[in-house]
Amino acid sequence: MRLVLVGPPGAGKGTQAQFLAAHYLIPHISTGDIFRANLKAGTPLGEQAKSFMDRGELVPDSVTNEMVKDRLTHEDAKNGFLLDGFPRNVAQAEVLRDILAEKKTPLHAVLEFALGDEEIIARLSSRRTCRDCGGPSVGLDKCPTCGGEVYQREDDKADVIKRRLEVYTEQTAPIIAFYRNADLLISISAVGSVEAITDQAKSALKNVAQ
C-alpha cells in the first residue's frame, strides 16, 4: 500500500497513521517526526524549521523534498509506505508524483481526514506535547507514554493555530482538488473516537489495490 494522509492540523493524522501503518505493515513516514528529531538535536535544519513552525508557518519545500525522496529509497519502504505531512502543497504533490513515476510505483490512495475549524482550535489549544518523546497529551500533567514533562508548543497556542489554519487553506487544501482530479482521493470524517475513525479508514481503503 502506497498511501498519503491529508487534512488540517488537529485532524488526528499522526495517530491514525500509526494504526494504519501497522495494519498494512508499511513504514509511517512523518516529516513532523523528522523535524522534531532535528529540533531536539539542535541541528541547523532543526533551527531553520523551528523559526517557521513557531510562527505557525510551513517549513519551505527546499527543506523537505530531498529528505522525503531519500527516505522512500530505504529498504522498509520497498513494498509500500504511508506519508504523513507530505505533500503539503501542489508543488510537493507534483514532486512526489514524479518521484514515484520514475520508480513506476504510483500512489494507491490519498486519505483525507475532514474536520471543521472550531473543532480544530478546541483540540489543539488543549493539547500538550512531551519534551522527551514528542507524543501528545490532553488534560494530563505527565506524558501517558513515557512519563516525561509536557508543555504547550508555540504552534498549539490559539493565535498561532488560527494562522496555521490560514496557511493550510492557502497552501495545503488545494492538494485535495489535485488528488480528487487524479481519482486518488478518499475522504472520511475525523469526528469520533480514535477507534471509530480507524475502522472508518480501513473500511474506506478496503477496496484499494495493494
Instruction: Establish whether 164 is a catalytic residue.
Output: yes
Pairing of strands 109-114, 185-189: parallel
Question: Per the CATH hierarchy, to which homologous superfamily does domain 2-203 belong?
Answer: P-loop containing nucleotide triphosphate hydrolases (3.40.50.300)
The model's pTM is 0.74
127: annotated active-site residue: yes
The pLDDT assigned to 88 comes to 85
Average pLDDT of the chain is 86
Q: How far apart are CA 89 and CA 77, in angstroms?
A: 22
Q: How far is CA 190 from CA 16, 37, 57, 75, 187, in A?
A: 10, 27, 23, 32, 9
CA distances, 168 to each of 85, 112, 120, 172, 199 (Å): 11, 13, 12, 5, 26
From 153, 157, 162, 163, active-site residue? 153
Domain boundaries, the chain: 2-203
Q: What is the mean pLDDT of residues 168-174?
A: 84
Give the H/E segment covering residue 2: strand 2-6
Residue by residue, DSSP assigns 164-191 as HHHHIIIIITHHHHHHHHTT-EEEEE--
Q: In whole angstroms, what is the distance from residue 55 CA to residue 58 CA?
A: 9
Catalytic residue, chosen from 2, 123, 128, 164, is: 164
* Active-site residue identified among 55, 69, 97, 127: 127
DSSP class of residue 151? E
CA–CA separation, 78 and 117 (whole Å)? 37
Selected catalytic residue, list 2, 88, 123, 128: 88
Q: Which of 68, 99, 76 is nearest to 21 (CA)?
A: 76
Q: Where are the alpha helices (DSSP H) in 107-171?
A: 117-125, 158-167
* pLDDT tens-digit map of 91-123: 999 999 999 999 999 999 999 998 877 777 777
pLDDT: is 184 or 128 the higher one?
Answer: 184
Task: Report percent pLDDT > 70 for the chain.
Answer: 96
pLDDT at 171: 81
| More confident call, 107 vs 70 | 107
- In the numeric block, the cell 487544501 is attached to 173
Kindly tell me if the per-residue pLDDT of 210 is higher than 60.
no
Catalytic residue list contains 153: yes
Q: Name residue, grid cell 492557502.
A: 170
